[in-house]
């Protein structure tokens, strides 16, 4: 397909571009003419550590392909430095892909403030900072394309991701507001919720799903949205696995109530079915799409409100934040009147967050008490949520209802907005909401009861000019609400969010006085009363309310387009299908409410396979037998491995090398070399892509064991470079109760020369009995028995391993949780996580190398070993060695348990002349 969509002369910044989606974006834009700033701080998926190599490797890959790229290693919170890199290198910025992200997944009960703050800093403040630095440049050149990265967790909520959900949905509204402010300058902004394999998603998704969610299925969608010919702006899309769809808000027609004193929570309960009925709907896209004055006229002319059983709160305790005036005051007075004991929280600051005054809360408390109610004042900032909750506990001994209402405004155009304007609004609205709920949560959990009502805004739902900070914070609260509803629901902790329209200290700054007077907070309070009552069963929902009108809001998603997941996807295909991707009117639209609902369309598209030109012979026949020759012909994708001195040193440390082993741990040593067994590392990644289920009957990945390893070096391993590995099935044997599969991997350097060959012998329990050969072929050193001679070992070397060795070795690429997570090791029957077999393999080979090769890798020809028993980190390994001609037979014993962990093992040596010819 011709590359009609190109970016010649354009400059793209991609954050978090050291791997996963970010790397795919960077490679995509560079392949189509853009100059790329590859930003990556080089941290782990949880935000720990730092390394420049991640960005450097991607830059090098782009340059080798003939593209232009520079690296940047700054945190996204230093967005000005990232943009400065682009300006210094290329003189402009046309495209910003806000992709950088981390995860700190924990249940809300276990989440710390650090977990919350770090996620907000990287995702929300980071996206703000980079966009803020780029926006004036784009405005000046009258061109820009911006992408924010949300997620299904943000759109629908997800258990254990309250921090992440809030951050991700905040970015959707930030993007919508940026789109409004950038429109006249040809600056477009859209939000993508990708479903793709990455460092982050690999921790929360099964491997089989990850294999179908290649980042390359997301990049063409982002590529299309960033092209100069694309008009789309202010929109939200889900994309992944070949499936692309657009989302928008859908709102019920709702119910109008008579605007008088009979409009109370019981009236809301009586009309709840009408409020939540989506048989008649609207699709607002702006805060001006709702005629509140018209609704108020209808409310005044409406018939009397239905009367139901009064909804009271006797014996219950309610906290209302920001209750010194406006909406909060109306809530507090209503709850007090209906029997609740009320904590009236108000810092007494101005609408912009300045100053403090206790009188605001005191006046409301006095009003409640004079009316015969119970109330106490609290003057703390909502960021001190624990103090707010403590006031309730000291005064009334419990808490049942929490209404998060406190807020401020710092409205300015994005170009004029300061970091302080951004930070203060987010601290009060989003972090303040989190902090008060966090303090109340354990009490709700203990009593198995709680009602939480959070406050968003129509500005959050639809975006608005001059309110990027406020809109982002408000929609972030919706994301938080969605997740808390999931986590709290089974404990009878219900959480909902309202987007009110009423006259308050804040709206008084942006509405004419007559409108402020007309939009009484009392016309919002009854919904709060219903949602806060024990009879309410609504959970995780969004409501717009004001002027005597209440309606429910939900997502609507187009039927979208599914492209074949077994074919590459190009932006030109996306462009051709755009009308169908964005079509809400063709009868295929859905209303996903959970991440599971969202994933369903992606899963269904996995079966949307394009026809193969020539169907290969099936290795696994329908009768359960195996066509071994067909299995040997199965093609595997090549795997590329980029590495440098750092990776070589990290591996050496991972197999127990000490600081004295300068040859292997110090890059400036005159003889700096790579340990021969490093050769297993570039090949290991390919193991995860082998389709055992297409080859063996009854395959279960949990029944797979690594039985033996063979490695043969054709030349010394370079200290840095790019290696390409190609796999093949060498042999399959039927062991009765299981199957043995030998996978051969040939690894070549940039010149195409083979550097080393591996054979992984894997035993799969439960997959035998398919009628294959019982015994494998003799392949020389790869299958040698290596029986130790009947004499004492010629040399014995012991090494006590570190208790932290598995944690270190895994950084070389084997992230199997069995070796780090106690819960996973317990499932495997081990008291503590076990050491990687290939780590014990590397330790043993290291001692053979030192003893018989004087640590010269050129003398090391090949190694074969069988993994006989497990090793616990911290145990002592004893390597027993026998020299037999050019072969060193060895076995390794765990001293503490007197068990052989490596057997049938040997290293074949090169002669000095062989070494010289290879060198």
3-state secondary structure 346-387: CCCCCCCCCCCCCHHHHHHHHHHHHCCCEEEEECCCHHHHHH
915 band by pLDDT with thresholds 50, 70 and 90: very low
Task: Please report which helix (H) or strand (E) contains residue 450, including its range.
Answer: strand 450-455
Task: Pick from 68-77, 105-114, 689-698 the range whose average pLDDT is largest.
Answer: 68-77
Between 146 and 765, the higher pLDDT residue: 146
Written as six digits, the tokens of 864 are 């074969």
Instruction: Please state, in angstroms and rounded to a whole number, the distance separating the CA atoms of residues 186 and 228.
Output: 9
Bridge partners, residue 499, by sequence: 544
Mean pLDDT of 607-630: 72
698 band by pLDDT with thresholds 50, 70 and 90: confident
Q: What is the pLDDT of residue 619?
A: 76
Cβ burial of 593 (10 Å; 0-12, 13-18, 19+) is middle
- Please tell me which residue in 128, 143, 156, 164 is annotated as part of the active site: 164
Indicate the SS3 state at residue 82.
helix
- Please tell me which residue in 331, 434, 470, 651 is annotated as part of the active site: 470
Return the minimum-mean-pLDDT range out of 286-295, 639-648, 699-708, 792-801.
Answer: 699-708
Residue carrying the six token digits 């810092």: 347
Instruction: Judge whether 545 and 500 are in contact, CB under 8 Å.
Output: yes
Instruction: Judge whether 709 and 864 are in contact, CB under 8 Å.
Output: yes
Whether residue 185 lies in the annotated active site: no
782 band by pLDDT with thresholds 50, 70 and 90: very high
Q: What is the pLDDT of residue 605?
A: 79
917 band by pLDDT with thresholds 50, 70 and 90: very low
Instruction: Judge whether 131 and 98 are in contact, CB under 8 Å.
Output: yes
Mean pLDDT of 98-117: 90
Give CA 892 to chain center in angstroms.
41
* CB neighbours of residue 32 within 10 Å: 19
Instruction: Please state, in angstroms and rounded to a whole number, the distance separating the CA atoms of residues 505 and 407.
Output: 10
47 band by pLDDT with thresholds 50, 70 and 90: very low
Checking if the pLDDT of 273 tops 90, the result is yes
Checking if the pLDDT of 576 tops 80, the result is yes
Instruction: Please state, in angstroms and rounded to a whole number, the distance separating the CA atoms of residues 804 and 839.
Output: 12
Instruction: Please state, in angstroms and rounded to a whole number, the distance separating the CA atoms of residues 545 and 643.
Output: 57
* Residue 201 half-sphere exposure toward CB, CA atoms < 13 A: 24
Instruction: Judge whether 170 and 473 are in contact, CB under 8 Å.
Output: yes
Instruction: Please state, in angstroms and rounded to a whole number, the distance separating the CA atoms of residues 716 and 671.
Output: 12
- Which of these, 325, 475, 344, lies nearest to 403 by C-alpha position? 344
Q: Where are the beta strands (DSSP E) in 492-599?
A: 493-500, 542-546, 549-557, 561-562
Q: What is the mean pLDDT of the chain?
A: 90
Checking if the pLDDT of 913 tops 70, the result is no
Return the minimum-mean-pLDDT range out of 785-789, 827-831, 860-864.
Answer: 827-831
Q: What is the pLDDT of residue 444?
A: 98
Written as six digits, the tokens of 457 are 């805004």
Checking if the pLDDT of 691 tops 80, the result is no
> What is the model's pTM?
0.68
Q: What is the pLDDT of residue 250?
A: 98
Between 602 and 117, the higher pLDDT residue: 117
- Please tell me which residue in 168, 246, 271, 861 is annotated as part of the active site: 168
Instruction: Judge whether 684 and 814 are in contact, CB under 8 Å.
Output: yes
Checking if the pLDDT of 723 tops 90, the result is yes
> Does 3.40.190.10 match the CATH number of domain 11-249+558-606?
no
Instruction: Please state, in angstroms and rounded to a whole number, the distance separating the CA atoms of residues 476 and 165.
Output: 8
For residue 279, what are the contacts with CB-CB under 8 A and spacing of at least 6? Answer: none
The domain segmentation of the chain, as residue ranges, is 11-249+558-606, 628-772+781-909
Whether residue 632 lies in the annotated active site: no
Q: pLDDT digit string (tens) for 246-260?
A: 999 999 999 999 988
Q: pLDDT digit string (tens) for 222-231?
A: 999 999 999 9
* CB neighbours of residue 262 within 10 Å: 14
- Sequential DSSP letters for 411-449: ---TTT--HHHHHHHHIIIIIHHHHHHHHHHHHHHHHT-
Return the minimum-mean-pLDDT range out of 67-71, 567-571, 649-653.
Answer: 567-571
Task: Please report which helix (H) or strand (E) contains residue 177, including its range.
Answer: helix 162-182
Q: What is the pLDDT of residue 636?
A: 82
Instruction: Judge whether 497 and 455 are in contact, CB under 8 Å.
Output: yes
For residue 109, what are the contacts with CB-CB under 8 A and spacing of at least 6? Answer: 441, 442, 445, 487
Task: Please report which helix (H) or strand (E) contains residue 598, including its range.
Answer: helix 595-605
596 band by pLDDT with thresholds 50, 70 and 90: confident
Checking if the pLDDT of 510 tops 80, the result is no
761 band by pLDDT with thresholds 50, 70 and 90: very high
Query: CATH number of 628-772+781-909: 3.40.50.880, 3.10.129.10, 3.40.50.970, 3.30.450.20?
Result: 3.10.129.10
Whether residue 73 lies in the annotated active site: no
Instruction: Please state, in angstroms and rounded to a whole number, the distance separating the CA atoms of residues 7 and 228.
Output: 8
Helices (H), ranges, 767-911: 805-809, 822-827, 837-853
- Rounding to the nearest 10 degrees, give the CA dihedral for residues 502, 505, 511, 514: 70
Largest CA distance in the chain: 105
């Amino acid at each position: 397909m011709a590359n009609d969509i190109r970016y010649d002369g354009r400059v793209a910044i991609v954050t978090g571009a050291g791997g996963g989606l970010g790397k795919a974006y960077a490679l995509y834009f560079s392949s189509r003419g853009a100059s790329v700033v590859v930003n990556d701080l080089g941290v782990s998926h949880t935000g720990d550590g730092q390394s420049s190599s991640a960005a450097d490797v991607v830059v090098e890959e782009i340059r080798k392909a003939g593209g232009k790229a520079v690296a940047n290693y700054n945190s996204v919170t230093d967005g000005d430095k990232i943009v400065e890199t682009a300006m210094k290198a290329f003189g402009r910025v046309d495209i910003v892909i806000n992709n950088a992200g981390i995860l700190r997944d924990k249940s809300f009960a276990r989440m710390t403030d650090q977990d919350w703050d770090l996620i907000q800093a990287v995702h929300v403040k980071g996206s703000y900072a980079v966009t803020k630095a780029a926006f004036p440049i784009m405005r000046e050149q009258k061109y820009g394309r911006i992408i924010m990265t949300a997620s299904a967790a943000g759109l629908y909520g997800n258990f254990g991701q309250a921090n992440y959900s809030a951050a991700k949905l905040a970015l959707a509204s930030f993007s919508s507001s940026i789109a409004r402010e950038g429109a006249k300058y040809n600056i477009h902004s859209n939000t993508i919720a990708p479903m793709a394999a990455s460092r982050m998603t690999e921790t929360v998704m099964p491997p089989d799903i990850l294999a179908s969610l290649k980042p390359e299925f997301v990049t063409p969608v982002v590529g299309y949205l960033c092209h100069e010919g694309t008009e789309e702006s202010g929109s939200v899309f889900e994309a992944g696995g070949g499936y692309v769809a657009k989302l928008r808000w859908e709102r019920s027609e709702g119910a109008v109530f008579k605007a008088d004193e009979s409009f109370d929570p019981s009236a809301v309960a009586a009309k709840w079915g009408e409020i939540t009925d989506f048989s008649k709907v609207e699709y607002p896209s702006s805060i001006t799409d709702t005629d509140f004055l018209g609704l108020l006229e209808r409310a005044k002319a409406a018939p009397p409100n239905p009367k139901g059983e009064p909804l009271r709160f006797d014996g219950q305790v309610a906290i209302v934040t920001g209750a010194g005036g406006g909406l909060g005051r109306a809530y507090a007075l209503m709850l007090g009147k209906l029997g609740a004991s009320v904590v009236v929280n108000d810092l007494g600051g101005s609408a912009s967050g300045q100053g403090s005054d206790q009188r605001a809360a005191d006046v409301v408390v006095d009003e409640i008490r004079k009316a015969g109610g119970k109330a106490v004042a609290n003057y703390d900032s909502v960021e001190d949520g624990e103090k707010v909750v403590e006031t309730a506990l000291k005064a009334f001994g419990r808490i049942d209802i929490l209404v998060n209402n406190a807020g401020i405004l710092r409205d300015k155009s994005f170009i004029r907005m300061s970091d302080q304007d951004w930070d203060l609004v987010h601290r009060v609205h989003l972090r303040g909401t989190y902090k008060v709920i966090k303090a109340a949560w354990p009490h709700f959990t203990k009593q198995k009861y709680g009602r939480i009502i959070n406050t968003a805004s129509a500005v959050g739902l639809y975006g608005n000019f001059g309110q990027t900070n406020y809109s982002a914070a408000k929609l972030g609260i919706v994301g938080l609400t969605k997740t808390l509803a999931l986590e709290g629901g089974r404990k009878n902790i219900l959480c909902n969010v309202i987007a009110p329209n009423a006259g308050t200290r804040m709206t008084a700054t942006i509405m004419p006085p007559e409108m402020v007077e007309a939009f009484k907070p009392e016309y919002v309070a009854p919904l709060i009363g219903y949602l806060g009552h024990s009879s309410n069963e609504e959970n995780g929902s969004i409501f717009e309310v004001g002027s005597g009108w209440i309606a429910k809001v939900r997502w609507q998603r187009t039927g979208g387009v599914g492209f074949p997941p077994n074919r590459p996807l190009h932006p030109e295909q996306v462009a051709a299908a755009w009308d169908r991707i964005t079509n809400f009117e063709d009868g295929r639209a859905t209303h996903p409410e959970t991440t599971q609902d969202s994933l369903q369309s992606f899963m269904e598209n996995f079966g949307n396979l394009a026809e193969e030109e020539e169907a290969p012979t099936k290795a696994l026949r329908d009768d359960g037998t195996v066509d071994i020759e067909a299995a040997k012909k199965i093609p595997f994708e090549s795997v590329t491995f980029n590495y440098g001195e750092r990776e070589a040193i990290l591996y050496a440390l991972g197999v127990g090398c000490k600081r004295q082993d300068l040859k292997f741990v110090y890059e400036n040593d005159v003889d700096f070399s790579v340990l021969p067994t490093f050769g297993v590392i570039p090949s290991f990644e390919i193991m995860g892509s082998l389709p055992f289920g297409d080859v063996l009957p009854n395959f279960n990945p949990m029944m797979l064991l690594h039985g033996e390893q063979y490695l043969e070096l054709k030349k010394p391993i370079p200290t840095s470079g790019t290696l390409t590995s190609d796999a093949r099935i060498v042999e399959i044997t039927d062991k009765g109760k299981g199957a043995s599969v030998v996978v051969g991997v040939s690894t070549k350097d940039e010149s195409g020369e083979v550097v080393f060959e591996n054979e992984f012998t894997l035993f799969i329990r439960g997959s035998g009995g398919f009628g294959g050969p019982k015994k494998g072929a003799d392949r020389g050193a790869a299958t040698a028995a290596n029986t130790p001679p009947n004499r004492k070992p010629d040399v014995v070397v012991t090494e006590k391993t570190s208790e932290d060795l598995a944690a270190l070795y895994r950084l070389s690429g084997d992230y199997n949780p069995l070796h780090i997570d106690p819960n996973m090791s317990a499932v495997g029957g081990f008291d503590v996580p076990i050491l990687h077999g290939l780590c014990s393999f590397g330790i043993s080979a290291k001692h053979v190398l030192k003893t018989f090769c004087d640590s010269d890798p050129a003398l090391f020809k090949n190694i074969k070993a069988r993994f006989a028993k497990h090793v616990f980190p911290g145990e002592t390994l004893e390597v027993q060695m026998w020299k037999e001609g050019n072969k060193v037979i060895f076995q390794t014993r765990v001293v503490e348990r007197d068990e052989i962990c490596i057997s049938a093992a040997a290293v074949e040596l090169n002669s000095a002349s062989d070494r010289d010819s290879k060198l």
